[in-house]
Amino acid sequence: MTSGYIPPKDEPSPEEILEALREAIFDNPRLTEMPAEEVAEQLVLGGHLQEEPSAVVVADMLSALEAEEGGLEADELSEEGNPT
């Protein structure tokens, strides 16, 4: 998934940010409730990234993860309703 965003030279790529978010949220699910600016800072403080990413990209990646998770939950519910 690429958004066409080209990060500054010292900033992590969207793919790196997404992977770091997955790891960080697994470790601390409360991150999904925090503002993107705080999440970006926590990614560095938690050792998931070397450089702080753009809060805008973090917000986009959080939205993508929520959509991904919502799709998985819908699939699980439809499987439960269909006995095989």
In a domain, 59, yes or no: yes
Complete DSSP assignment for 21-56: HHHHHHH-GGGGGS-HHHHHHHHHHTTS-SSPPPHH
Q: What does the pLDDT read at residue 29?
A: 93
Question: For residues 67 and 8, which has the higher predicted lDDT (pLDDT)?
Answer: 67
In a domain, 60, yes or no: yes
| Whether pTM exceeds 0.75 | no
**Contact by Cβ (8 Å): 57, 13:** no
Domain of residue 67, residue span? 14-81
In a domain, 3, yes or no: no
In a domain, 40, yes or no: yes
In a domain, 7, yes or no: no
Q: For 43-79, what is each residue's pLDDT tens digit?
A: 999 999 999 999 999 999 999 988 887 766 655 555 5
How many structural domains are present in the chain? 1
